[in-house]
C-alpha cells in the first residue's frame, strides 16, 4: 500500500510506461505517465494522481522539471473528478 495519505511519488524507466503499470499495481497508487506539462497537471487535477512516471530515454531533465512543476502547482478538483477517484479507490479496496 502507498505509504501515507498525501504522499507523492516519482518513478522512472526507459519509456515511463512499464514503471507506471508496475506502480499502479500497488494499492493506493494512482500513477500517470508524465509526458508533457498538460498531462502532468491534469493527472493531478482530474485523476488525483499521487505518482508520476517519467521516461528517462525519451525526456530531458528540463522536460521532467517542467512536468513536475505543473503537477505540483495543480490542485485536486472535486465534483465529477472526485467521483471518478472514489470509484478507482473502491476498485482498489480503499474506502
* Residue partners of 84: CB distance under 8 A and separation at least 6: 46, 47
**Domain carrying residue 34:** 9-91
Answer yes or no: is 51 within a domain.
Answer: yes
* Residue partners of 16: CB distance under 8 A and separation at least 6: 33, 34, 35, 53, 54, 55, 58, 59
The reported pLDDT for the residue numbered 1 is 60
Active site residue 81: no
Could you give the percent of the chain with pLDDT greater than 90? 68
Answer yes or no: is 73 within a domain.
Answer: yes
End-to-end C-alpha distance for the chain, whole angstroms:
13
The reported pLDDT for the residue numbered 18 is 97
Answer yes or no: is 21 within a domain.
Answer: yes
Residue 95 scores a pLDDT above 70: no
Answer yes or no: is 18 within a domain.
Answer: yes
Catalytic residue of the set 31, 46, 51, 67: 46
Answer yes or no: is 2 within a domain.
Answer: no
How many folded domains does the chain comprise? 1
Active site residue 13: yes
pLDDT per residue as tens digits for the range 17-48: 999 999 999 988 999 999 999 999 999 999 89
Could you give the percent of the chain with pLDDT greater than 70? 96
Answer yes or no: is 3 within a domain.
Answer: no
CATH number of the domain residue 33 falls in = 3.40.1400.10
Amino acid at each position: 500500500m502507498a505509504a501515507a495519505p498525501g504522499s507523492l511519488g516519482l518513478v522512472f524507466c526507459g519509456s515511463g510506461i512499464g514503471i507506471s503499470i508496475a506502480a499502479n499495481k500497488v494499492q493506493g497508487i494512482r500513477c500517470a505517465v508524465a509526458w508533457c506539462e498538460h498531462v502532468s497537471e491534469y493527472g493531478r487535477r482530474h485523476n488525483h494522481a499521487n505518482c508520476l512516471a517519467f521516461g528517462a530515454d525519451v525526456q530531458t531533465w528540463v522536460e521532467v522539471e517542467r512536468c513536475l512543476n505543473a503537477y505540483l502547482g495543480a490542485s485536486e478538483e472535486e465534483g465529477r473528478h472526485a467521483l471518478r477517484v472514489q470509484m478507482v479507490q473502491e476498485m482498489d479496496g480503499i474506502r
